Amino acid sequence: MECVFGLVGNDYAIVVADTSAVHSILVHKSNEDKIMVLDSHKLVAASGEPGDRVQFTEYIQKNVALYQFRNGIPLTTAAAANFTRGELATALRKNPYQVNVLMAGYDKEIGPSLYYIDYIATLHKVDRGAFGYGSYFCLAMMDRHYHSGMTVEEAIDLVDKCILEIRSRLVVAPPNFVIKIVDKDGAREYAWRESVKPDAA
């Protein structure tokens, strides 16, 4: 029931994730942030087994930071994505991580990019991607309305359309979503979309 999706615009990339932490029929919390800021210009939106999700993304984050200290410059988005895929692949036939990742980043010479990395270590560079049951609706919506070089306003409009579809068509739809953006000024939270007031923190 976790929904994660994202798209690339003219000079930014946006990722959206639902914010429900669920165990069986119980919703533990509805303000769980599943989009990690990997470094100043990278975002990782992850879905899947909750323990694996946090452990794996934090592990990637610390290794990306270590690379930067060792080498004096940050990893490119492509390099970070390939590193992530490599870790998933190595663990796959031993102790697999059940985590799907959408990695969005902005590199100075290359611009924005989005990488689709699923739990069995598939890696694709994409314009738009989605994971979970929500993907059935998001991909259809994005296929219909997406075009390359969208402005931020157009993209957020499309994101809202996708969220509306999820809310109206998915049987156990997550009520709240978080939207994060990465562009030349860095990675940051853009907005929340709440239909159920989250717990007092």
Partner 1 sequence: MARYDRAITVFSPDGHLFQVEYALEAVRKGNAAVGVRGTDTVVLGVEKKSAAKLQDSRSVRKIVNLDNHIALACAGLKADARVLINRARIECQSHRLTVEDPVTVEYITRYIAGLQQKYTQSGGVRPFGLSTLIIGFDPYTGVPSLYQTDPSGTFSAWKANATGRNSNSIREFLEKNYKETSGQETVVESGGKNIEVAVMTKDQGLRQLEESEIDGIVAEIEAEKAAAEAAKKGPARDA
Residue numbers of the site for partner 1 (CB under 8 A)? 58-59, 62-63, 65-66, 69-70, 72
**The one-letter amino acid at 139:** L
Q: By C-beta, is 41 or 193 nearer to partner 1?
A: 41
6 and 124 in contact (C-beta within 8 Å)? no
Distances (CA, A) of 183 to 2, 29, 110, 191, 198: 25, 29, 11, 15, 28
Q: By C-beta, is 29 or 62 nearer to partner 1?
A: 62
Nearest-approach distance from CB 63 to partner 1, in angstroms:
7
179 and 200 in contact (C-beta within 8 Å)? no
Nearest-approach distance from CB 108 to partner 1, in angstroms:
19
- Which helix (DSSP H) or strand (DSSP E) does residue 190 occupy? strand 186-193
Q: By C-beta, is 70 or 108 nearer to partner 1?
A: 70
Q: By C-beta, is 69 or 95 nearer to partner 1?
A: 69
Nearest-approach distance from CB 201 to partner 1, in angstroms:
17
